């Protein structure tokens, strides 16, 4: 079983209309900060219980309700022209669709089926006003308290009736069909947040640390053998000669200072006070490594992996239903935020290579949801299971699986290419808000600096990444963008005039003409460097080109400087000197451009690309 669909309305950053996402048994969720990756998993946790991660209450705080929904509600209350019956009191609803149940799971969700085929069930969380709340009286009192105020003043003073809200969890999409808590306890959602402290959670001596909660969750009965071992310690204490000598000395001193009565004497004894199993478990810690080290002495990266493995080892346990077992769980969904935390890139690659297999080993009862900012994980994990959440121009959020809309047969070459060559550098395209695709290292190095010079800000500041495709294999990346990735993408490519491939760029430009998210910009001359030199054949740009040329080819560069001292640069002559030194020239060009008072002009086709990717900069 797994949560195949999640629908969220008015919970934290998810407002109206409701946000809806399809989930797979293993899902990697990507997106920029504050896009809602954590809130998505937290929403699922409101439906089902937790017993490994920290327990979450189902009642919400005001910060859990969508800010825009609350603001709109207060505006309606402040507007006396709106009847109280027409005021929308915000409701939070979270609906999970469960699919692919096995026989044992069918027995648990049997009252929550949502279709006649009985192969889907729905569980809905609703946080709303209590049924007998007097809206008319409440609105009247609020409006009386803000009489005579401006709209802005009034909104700041209007209350929100949070204490009048109640939560309910029901099945099958029918509010009257309240879910039995006994069955809800058999479905768990665990959240391992990004700020987890592996050292603290796996060390001994703390009541609420993860290690103790896991050890203690089955009660005392399974540790009766430890209690028996402690009785042996008690016998050893009583027979210890050092303690016996100390006992005699104390008794002798007591005889001198204390009276003996008929009811009391001065005899003493040393007893080992054996703690119960619960207290004993607090003394158990973890050691890790060949030496071994305690977790307190281990590195953060290794401890993070230990933490993840420790939790999954417990939540993925194979259990069979037992009428006498109150702890029986038939399904767990685990959300792991940023599993790459503190990990060296090699460890990130290794984790990515194996974590999908862990889910497959527990296919019936375990669902894994990973949220990440790691290009290594994004590059290594199966693209079929990778979803990107993007923010559209209207502010709404849209999920998109990387390979959605791609025909696995007709476009299998592109699927294979992306699966093999989407390395940690190129996978940045999945994290950016907008993209510039280029052919080689020279464009990758120079274009960000040209943008900075033109707009006095960096590409990173507008969420744009320059992706070097190391050639002209743009079509494979454009298939992803063109099928709903919702990112503006500029391709900066050479015209290859006079070459066998001279029609390639024009054909691509024609294919994507008028596309909302894709713009193909082609160099006027054969290559990027020729256009760059032509755009900077005079003025300050000329100086940058000549200084970069001299740094790249000291002897020939000086000669070119002399030849073109009093006239504009000839792009063909200048390019001939760097044709075999493009990368060094690019790095030297950027070095010169970074100097005080240096300036360069972007070639026209690159400038058009900038205007497409950053239209708001055109008015500056």
Percent residues over pLDDT 90 in the chain: 57
The Cα-based distances of 449 to 443, 458, 522, 523, 594 in angstroms read: 10, 8, 19, 18, 8
Average pLDDT in the 280-307 region? 70
**Integer Cα distance of 500 and 50 in angstroms:** 63
DSSP reduced 3-state for 554 = helix
The answer to whether the CB of 172 falls within 8 A of the CB of 134 is no
Number of other residues whose CB lies within 10 A of the CB of residue 374: 25
pLDDT of residue 322: 59
Query: If you average pLDDT over every residue of the chain, what do you get?
Result: 87
Checking if the pLDDT of 570 tops 80, the result is yes
The Cα-based distances of 491 to 391, 466, 593 in angstroms read: 22, 10, 23
pLDDT of residue 276: 66
Mind listing the pLDDT tens digit for each residue in 297-334? 667 777 777 777 776 666 655 455 554 556 688 898 98
Checking if the pLDDT of 370 tops 60, the result is yes
DSSP reduced 3-state for 20 = strand
Tokens 């044992």, residue?
104
Please count the residues of the chain. 620
Number of other residues whose CB lies within 10 A of the CB of residue 609: 24
The Cα-based distances of 528 to 75, 174, 305 in angstroms read: 55, 62, 45
Mind listing the pLDDT tens digit for each residue in 502-526? 899 999 999 999 999 999 999 999 9
The answer to whether the CB of 480 falls within 8 A of the CB of 469 is no
Among candidate residues 20, 22, 19, the one with its CA nearest the CA of residue 3: 22
**Integer Cα distance of 336 and 354 in angstroms:** 15
The answer to whether the CB of 340 falls within 8 A of the CB of 374 is yes
Quickly state the pLDDT bin for 287 (edges 50, 70, 90): confident
pLDDT of residue 319: 55
Checking if the pLDDT of 140 tops 70, the result is yes
Structure token digits, residue 336 = 């792991």
Mind listing the pLDDT tens digit for each residue in 55-113? 557 889 999 999 999 999 999 999 999 999 999 999 999 999 999 999 999 999 999 99
Mind listing the pLDDT tens digit for each residue in 523-544? 999 999 999 999 999 999 999 9
Q: What angle do CA 51, 57, 61 make, to 5 degrees?
A: 150
Percent residues over pLDDT 70 in the chain: 89
The Cα-based distances of 609 to 34, 98, 605 in angstroms read: 28, 45, 6
Among candidate residues 503, 508, 507, 504, the one with its CA nearest the CA of residue 491: 508
Mind listing the pLDDT tens digit for each residue in 101-129? 999 999 999 999 999 999 999 999 999 99
Q: What angle do CA 64, 69, 70 make, to 5 degrees?
A: 70
**What torsion do the CA atoms of 185, 189, 193, 198 make, to the nearest 10 degrees?**
60
**Integer Cα distance of 602 and 118 in angstroms:** 62
Poorest-pLDDT segment among 33-42, 308-317, 543-552: 308-317
- Please give the helix or strand (H or E) that residue 377 lies within, else none: helix 375-380
- 3-state DSSP percent of the chain in helix, strand and coil, to 5: 45, 15, 40
Radius of gyration of the chain (CA): 34
Average pLDDT in the 164-178 region? 96
For 487-533, what is the HEC assignment? CEEEEEECCCCCCCCHHHHHHHHHHCCCCCCEEEEECCCCCHHHHHH
494 Cα distance to chain centroid = 36
Q: What is the pTM of this model?
A: 0.83
Checking if the pLDDT of 414 tops 90, the result is no
pLDDT of residue 323: 45
């Amino acid at each position: 079983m797994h949560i195949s669909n999640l629908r969220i309305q008015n919970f934290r950053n998810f407002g109206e209309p409701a946000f809806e996402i399809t989930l797979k048994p293993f899902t990697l969720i990507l997106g920029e900060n504050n896009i809602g990756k954590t809130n998505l998993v937290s929403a699922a946790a409101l439906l089902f219980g937790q017993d490994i991660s920290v327990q979450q209450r189902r009642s919400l705080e005001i910060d859990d309700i969508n800010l825009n929904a609350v603001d709109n509600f207060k505006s309606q209350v402040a507007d006396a022209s709106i009847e109280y019956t027409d005021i929308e009191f915000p409701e939070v609803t979270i609906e999970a669709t469960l699919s692919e149940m096995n026989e044992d799971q069918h027995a648990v969700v049997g009252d929550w089926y949502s279709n006649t085929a009985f192969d889907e069930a729905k569980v809905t969380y609703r946080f709303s006003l209590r049924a007998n709340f007097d809206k008319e009286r409440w609105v009247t009192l609020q409006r009386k308290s803000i009489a005579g105020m401006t709209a802005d003043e009034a909104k700041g003073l209007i209350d929100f009736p949070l204490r009048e809200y109640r939560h309910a969890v029901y099945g099958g999409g029918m509010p009257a069909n309240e879910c039995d808590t006994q069955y809800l306890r058999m479905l768990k959602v665990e959240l391992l947040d990004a700020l987890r402290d592996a050292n603290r959670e796996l060390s001994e001596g703390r009541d609420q640390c993860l290690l103790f909660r896991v050890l203690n969750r089955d009660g005392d009965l399974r540790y009766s053998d430890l209690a028996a071992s402690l009785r042996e310690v008690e016998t050893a204490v009583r027979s210890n000669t050092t303690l016996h000598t100390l006992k005699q000395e104390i008794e002798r001193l007591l005889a001198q200072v204390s009276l003996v009565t008929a009811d009391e004497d001065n005899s003493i004894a040393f007893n080992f006070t054996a703690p119960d199993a619960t207290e004993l478990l607090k003394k158990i810690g973890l050691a890790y490594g060949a030496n071994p080290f305690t977790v307190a002495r281990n590195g953060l990266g290794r401890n993070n992996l230990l933490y993840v493995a420790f939790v999954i080892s417990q939540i993925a346990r194979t259990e069979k239903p037992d009428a006498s077992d109150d702890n029986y769980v038939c399904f767990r969904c685990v959300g792991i935020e940023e599993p790459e935390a503190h990990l060296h890139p090699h460890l990130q690659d290794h984790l990515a290579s194996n974590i999908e297999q862990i889910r497959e080993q527990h296919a019936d009862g375990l669902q894994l949801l990973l949220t990440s900012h790691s290009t290594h994980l994004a590059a290594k994990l199966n693209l079929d299971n990778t979803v990107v959440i993007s923010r559209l121009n209207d502010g709404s959020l849209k999920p998109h699986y990387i390979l959605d809309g791609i025909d696995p047969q007709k476009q299998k070459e592109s699927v294979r290419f992306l699966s093999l060559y989407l390395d940690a550098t190129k996978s940045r395209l999945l994290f950016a808000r907008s993209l510039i695709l280029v052919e080689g290292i020279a464009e990758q190095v120079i274009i960000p600096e040209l943008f900075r010079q033109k707009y006095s800000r960096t590409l990173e500041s507008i969420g744009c990444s320059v992706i070097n495709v190391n050639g002209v294999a743009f079509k494979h990346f454009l298939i992803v963008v063109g099928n709903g990735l919702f990112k503006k993408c500029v391709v900066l490519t050479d015209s290859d005039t006079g070459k066998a491939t001279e029609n390639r760029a024009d054909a691509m430009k024609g294919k994507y003409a008028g596309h909302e998210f894709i713009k193909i910009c082609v160099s006027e001359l054969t290559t990027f460097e020729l256009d760059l030199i032509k755009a900077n054949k005079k003025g300050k740009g000329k100086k940058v080109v000549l200084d970069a040329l001299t740094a790249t080819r000291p002897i020939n560069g000086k000669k070119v400087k002399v030849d073109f001292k009093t006239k504009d640069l000839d792009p063909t002559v200048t390019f001939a000197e760097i044709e075999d030194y493009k990368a060094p020239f690019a790095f030297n060009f950027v070095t010169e451009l970074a100097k005080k008072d240096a300036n360069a002009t972007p070639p026209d086709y690159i400038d058009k690309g900038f205007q497409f990717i950053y239209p708001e900069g055109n008015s500056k």
